[in-house]
Amino acid sequence: MSQLKTVRVASLTALAASFAAAFGSAYAEDDEITRLIRPESSVTLGIGYLTDDAARFGQYTGLKDMGLYGIGSVDYVRRDDPTGTWYRLSGRNLGLQSRELRVEHERQGDWRYSLEYNQIPRFSQYEVNTGLQGLGHEVQTVRTIAPGTGFDKRLKTEREGVTLAGQKMLGNGLDVQVRFKNETKEGRRLFGDRTISQAFLAEPIDHTMKQVDVILGYTGKNLQLSGGYYGSFFNNENSALQSFNGNLIPPTSLGLIALPPDNEAHQFYLTGGYSFSPTTRGNFKVARGVATQNDSFVNPALPAVGRTDLGGRVETTLVQAGVTARPMPKLSLLANFKYEDRDDETHERMYFTQTTTRNGFNERPSMRSHLGKVEASYLLPADFRLTGGVDYDARRRTVNPLRQVTFREETDETSYRIELRRSLSETVNGSVAYIHSDRDGSSLDVMSVPAVPGTTAVPLHLADRERDKVRLKLDWVPVDPLSVQLMADFSDDSYDRDTYGLDKGKAQFWSLDASYAITDEWQGLAWVSRDYSRVVNSTRGSGTGIPLQDWAANLRLLSQAFGLGFRGSLGSSWKVGGDFQYSHDRSSYGLTGTATPLTSLPDVKYTLRTLKLFAEYEMRQDLSLRFDAVHDRWNTNDWLWTNYVYSDGTRLSQDDSQKATFVGVSMRYAWR
Q: What digits encode the pLDDT tens for the residues 119-147?
A: 999 999 899 999 999 988 999 999 999 99
What's residue 616's pLDDT? 97
Cα separation, 156 vs 663, whole angstroms: 25
Q: Where are the beta strands (DSSP E) in 222-366?
A: 223-236, 240-245, 252-258, 263-277, 280-293, 312-328, 331-344
- Residues of the chain below pLDDT 70: 1-37, 196, 300-304, 356-357, 400-404, 446-457, 497-499, 543, 595-599
DSSP letters spanning 478-490: EETTEEEEEEEEE
Q: Does residue 526 contact residue 565 with C-beta atoms inside 8 Å?
A: yes
Q: Tell me the backbone φ, ψ of residue 121, rounded to 5 degrees.
A: -90, 160
Number of H helices, E strands in the chain: 2, 34
Q: What is residue 262's three-state secondary structure?
A: coil
Q: Are 203 and 191 in contact (CB under 8 A)?
A: yes
Q: Under a CB-based contact definition with an 8 Å cutoff, are residues 209 and 234 in contact?
A: yes
Q: Reading across the β-sheet that carries 127-130, which strands appear in turn?
A: 151-153, 127-130, 651-653, 644-645
Give the residue among 381, 383, 395, 386 at the shortest CA–CA distance from 417: 386
Contact 612, 578 (CB under 8 A): yes
The residues pairing with 406 across neighbouring beta strands, listed in sequence order, are none
Q: Is 415 helix (H, G, I), strand (E, B) or coil?
A: strand
Contact 654, 643 (CB under 8 A): no
Pairing relation of β-strands 240-245 and 139-142?
parallel
| Cα–Cα dist 436/465, whole Å | 11
Going across the sheet that includes 139-142, the strands are: 139-142, 240-245, 252-258
Residue 208: beta bridge partners?
184, 235
Taking CB atoms within 8 Å and a gap of at least 24, the contacts of 326-332 are 326/279, 326/280, 327/279, 329/379, 330/378, 330/379, 331/376, 331/377, 331/378, 331/379, 332/376, 332/377, 332/378
Alpha carbons 290 and 457: distance in angstroms, whole number: 35
Which of 244, 238, 226 shows the shortest CA–CA distance to 187? 238
Residue 3 CB: number of other CB atoms within 10 A? 8
Q: What is the C-alpha to C-alpha distance for residues 158 and 96, in angstroms, rounded to an integer?
A: 13
Which residues make beta-bridge pairs with 70?
47
Q: Which parts of 124-262 are beta strand (E)?
A: 127-130, 139-142, 151-153, 156-171, 174-193, 199-219, 223-236, 240-245, 252-258
C-alpha 160 chain-centroid distance = 18
